[in-house]
């Protein structure tokens, strides 16, 4: 028989406000096995924990039940408390009477009654708990960063700085991500390339960092500390270690009509290309969709001009398998497609562009060499209309856009407006907004400068329709503050498209078994206290894959993710989860049902000699669980027809006892 102590927490008034804590601790006193029951204002405080420790010593407790907040919150805290008092930490059970009781019920008698039942269920479970000892597994001291934008770059640099090897996997031919495409950055107006490219060079020169560019993660197996990852390296038809990046091939290639994705299709590149001058790795890549040699076998110009002999038309996709201790997701974002927003005439006129396209238009390395010219006729635009929240904060039109605020658009539009007025003072700039949201260091000052010093016309209201007419764009909008309709003849319309997670994130989340929210942003382990960790142990989040962010926030999150990775890789061994499956060798008949449902391959079979009751020996085939590989899902326990499989910590008898306690 266990000697159980029950500790009911008030959580200030969070629990005590709707649950009569005294009644709960009194009611649970009479439950089987309970020898001590009390309540206290804050069980998780030092004083509260001391009450638990003292009771364990005084009453020789063998198990404890804490009626408090969710076990996802403080289970670890109370396990540590128990361990400090010499009790096995797995003899602790939590009855969740805050999140799942006091916070969702308003009525005191009802809340109290439910809290008592939940407490009884936890007592019933503890009665059947057994002390558990976690096993240990070694840690592979190498990290994987998926995505080579500013988030991935910063994370990799920080991890490498602590002395651990890091691999970056980037699906594009170069690292750099979206930041490489930007012109200037708010609120300081630094040139993006000037602050990004030195970091890219640092990555290339760091001997702890390997870059797998033009590559993708295709498979992830294993668990924290021991991930087995398969990386597919796409054939670029150029030997990476031989190419010097001289760029001669990209000048001589006869296939000139390939839309340049780096400039968002606003100009053309060749079929063999280096995305931009500062690309890392600076290696040419052949686009197999356009290369005449690869398609018809007749050309070979690049291989003739390449003095280094780097061209290899017969290159094949390569699969690399590597072990990692930790994985950082930094897959970033994309602006949403403008297909569903045709009221702004994006598909009808070349002069309606997205903000990222505007960024390329003003970039000195862009299609117009930094001159702000209309894509349609190459003339200077004299009236520019910026439309905010295109697809963001779409409450009623969630089918079309996103419900959330994309966070960066207000600031970059202020930047675009300011830069335009600075370079071309004869230009009229209008910005249509729902709200201007500029929280952040020096952000509001920046926006006010745009309004006050640069005379940008900020108009509260949305643009209803854009109609191309001749070489003008008729913009119809409403000014909500004066309650008037506005008609503007614009030369250029810039749409602040909402941002969404990269499409590769969803399949990746499935591979990593990391959870996502309804918008496909990765969920964090705790929104406030563990913002850079995914709920899946060993998987960390960096940058916009977790939610919309600007560059300063991305860099700080990248550093935070790196520090978490370093903390993990610095350990030699990880203590595992002792709540794993085990089979009763006398009941197991070796039918293989459990092996078939195990997602981790943790179950193997061995032949074991048994002494039978009639003193003969028999050799029987039985299932054996590898506790280091088992993750404790319990699939095998239900699949087992003889009931030989059980799960430690969530044993069938324990769950049955909980059911019984709840159903009285």
Partner 1 sequence: MQINEYKPLIVAFCCNWCSYAGADLAGNNRLNYPADVKIIRVPCSCRVNPMFVLRAFQRGADGVIICGCHPGDCHYTSGNYFTRRRMALLFSMLDYLGIERERTRVEWVSAAEGAKFAATMNDFTEKVAALGENKRLEDLRCKR
Query: Using CB under 8 A as the criterion, which residues of the chain lie in contact with partner 1 when the complex forms?
Result: 70-73, 96, 98-101, 103-107, 110-111, 113-114, 117-118, 121, 509-510, 513, 515-518, 523, 535-536, 579, 597, 599, 631-635, 637-639, 647, 650, 652, 655-656, 658-660, 662-664
**Between 93 and 158, CB nearer to partner 1:** 93
Taking the complex as a whole, the smallest distance from the CB of residue 516 to partner 1 amounts, in Å, to 7
Taking the complex as a whole, the smallest distance from the CB of residue 413 to partner 1 amounts, in Å, to 29
Residues 438, 444: Cα–Cα separation, whole Å: 5
Taking the complex as a whole, the smallest distance from the CB of residue 515 to partner 1 amounts, in Å, to 6
**Between 41 and 513, CB nearer to partner 1:** 513
**Between 478 and 652, CB nearer to partner 1:** 652
**Between 122 and 562, CB nearer to partner 1:** 122
**Between 493 and 602, CB nearer to partner 1:** 602
Taking the complex as a whole, the smallest distance from the CB of residue 190 to partner 1 amounts, in Å, to 35
Q: How many CB atoms lie within 10 A of CB 460?
A: 15
**Between 71 and 225, CB nearer to partner 1:** 71
Tell whether the torsion through CA atoms of 472, 477, 481 and 483 is positive or negative: positive
Spatial CA neighbour of 330 closest among 170, 220, 163: 170
Taking the complex as a whole, the smallest distance from the CB of residue 251 to partner 1 amounts, in Å, to 47
497 Cα distance to chain centroid: 21
**Between 288 and 535, CB nearer to partner 1:** 535
Residues 297, 289: Cα–Cα separation, whole Å: 13
Q: Which DSSP symbol is given to 588?
A: -
* Token duo for residue 24: 């709960």
**Between 48 and 71, CB nearer to partner 1:** 71
Vertex 502 angle, CA 330 and 168, to 5°: 30
Q: Which DSSP symbol is given to 178?
A: G
Vertex 300 angle, CA 299 and 303, to 5°: 165
Is the peptide bond between 32 and the residue preceding it cis, with omega within 30 degrees of 0? Answer: no
Task: Identify the residue whose tokens are 């930047």.
Answer: 415
Collapse the DSSP code of 108 into the 3-class scheme (helix H, G, I; strand E, B; otherwise coil) and give the result. Answer: helix
Taking the complex as a whole, the smallest distance from the CB of residue 132 to partner 1 amounts, in Å, to 14
Contacts of residues 116-120 at CB distance under 8 Å and 24 or more positions apart, as own/partner, are 116/23, 116/24, 116/27, 116/28, 117/661, 117/662, 118/67, 119/6, 119/8, 119/24, 119/27, 119/28, 119/31, 119/65, 119/67, 119/95, 120/28, 120/31, 120/661, 120/662
Taking the complex as a whole, the smallest distance from the CB of residue 6 to partner 1 amounts, in Å, to 18
Taking the complex as a whole, the smallest distance from the CB of residue 126 to partner 1 amounts, in Å, to 14
Taking the complex as a whole, the smallest distance from the CB of residue 648 to partner 1 amounts, in Å, to 11
Residues 250, 252: Cα–Cα separation, whole Å: 6
**Between 245 and 531, CB nearer to partner 1:** 531
Residues 97, 253: Cα–Cα separation, whole Å: 70
């Amino acid at each position: 028989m266990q000697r159980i102590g029950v500790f009911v927490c008030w959580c200030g008034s969070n629990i005590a406000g709707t649950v009569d804590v005294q009644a709960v601790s009194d009611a649970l006193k009479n439950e089987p096995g309970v020898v001590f029951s009390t309540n206290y204002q804050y069980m998780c405080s030092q004083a509260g924990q001391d009450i638990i420790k003292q009771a364990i010593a005084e009453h020789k407790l063998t198990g404890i039940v804490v009626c408090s907040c969710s076990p996802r919150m403080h289970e670890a805290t109370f396990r540590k408390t128990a361990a400090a008092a010499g009790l096995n930490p797995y003899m602790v059970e939590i009855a969740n009477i805050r999140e799942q009781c006091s916070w969702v019920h308003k009525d005191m008698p009802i809340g109290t009654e439910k809290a008592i039942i939940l407490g009884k269920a936890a007592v019933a479970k503890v009665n059947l708990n057994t002390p558990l000892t976690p096993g240990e597994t070694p840690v592979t001291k190498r990290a994987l960063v998926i995505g080579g934008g500013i988030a991935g770059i910063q994370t990799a640099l920080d991890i490498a700085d602590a002395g651990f090897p890091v691999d970056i996997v980037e699906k594009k031919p170069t690292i750099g991500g979206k930041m490489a495409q930007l012109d200037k950055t708010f609120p300081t107006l630094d040139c993006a390339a000037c602050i990004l490219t030195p970091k890219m060079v640092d990555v290339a020169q760091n001997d702890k960092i390997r870059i797998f560019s033009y590559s993708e993660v295709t498979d992830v197996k294993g668990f924290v500390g021991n991930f087995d990852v398969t990386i597919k390296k796409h054939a670029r038809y150029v030997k990476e270690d031989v190419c010097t990046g001289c760029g001669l091939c990209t000048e001589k290639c006869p296939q000139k009509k390939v839309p340049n994705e780096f400039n968002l299709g606003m100009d053309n590149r060749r079929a063999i290309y280096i995305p931009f001058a500062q690309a890392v790795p600076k290696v040419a890549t052949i686009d197999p969709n356009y290369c005449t040699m690869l398609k018809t076998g007749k050309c070979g110009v690049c291989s003739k001009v390449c003095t280094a002999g780097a061209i290899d038309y017969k290159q094949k996709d390569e699969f690399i398998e590597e072990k990692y201790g930790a994985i950082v997701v930094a897959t970033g974002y994309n602006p949403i497609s403008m297909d569903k927003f045709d009221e702004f005439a994006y598909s009808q006129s070349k002069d309606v562009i997205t903000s990222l396209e505007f960024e390329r238009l003003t970039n000195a390395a862009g299609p117009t060499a930094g001159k702000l010219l209309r894509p349609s006729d190459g003339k200077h635009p004299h009236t520019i209309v910026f439309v905010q929240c295109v697809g963001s904060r779409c409450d009623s039109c969630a089918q079309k856009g996103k419900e959330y605020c994309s966070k960066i658009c207000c600031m970059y539009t202020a930047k675009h407006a300011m830069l335009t007025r600075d370079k071309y003072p004869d230009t009229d700039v209008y910005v249509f907004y729902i709200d201007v949201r500029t929280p952040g260091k020096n952000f509001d000052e920046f926006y006010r400068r745009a309004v006050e010093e640069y005379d940008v016309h900020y108009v509260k209201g949305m643009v209803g329709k854009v109609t191309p007419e001749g070489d003008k764009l008729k913009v119809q909008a409403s000014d909500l503050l004066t309650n008037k309709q506005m008609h503007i003849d614009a030369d250029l319309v810039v749409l602040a498209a909402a941002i969404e997670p990269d499409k590769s994130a969803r399949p990746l989340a499935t591979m990593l078994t990391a959870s996502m929210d309804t918008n496909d942003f990765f969920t964090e382990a705790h929104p406030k206290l563990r913002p850079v960790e995914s709920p899946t142990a060993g998987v960390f989040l960096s940058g916009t894959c977790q939610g919309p962010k600007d560059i300063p926030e991305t860099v700080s999150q990248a550093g935070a993710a790196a520090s978490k990775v370093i903390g993990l890789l610095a350990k030699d061994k990880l203590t595992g989860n002792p709540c794993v499956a085990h089979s009763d060798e006398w009941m197991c008949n070796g039918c293989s049902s459990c092996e078939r449902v195990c997602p981790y391959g943790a179950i193997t079979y061995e032949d074991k000699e048994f002494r039978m009751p009639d003193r003969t020996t028999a050799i029987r085939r039985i299932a054996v669980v590898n506790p280091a590989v088992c993750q404790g899902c319990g699939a095998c326990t239900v699949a087992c027809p003889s009931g030989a499989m059980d799960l430690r910590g969530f044993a069938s008898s324990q769950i049955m006892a909980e059911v019984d306690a709840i159903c009285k």
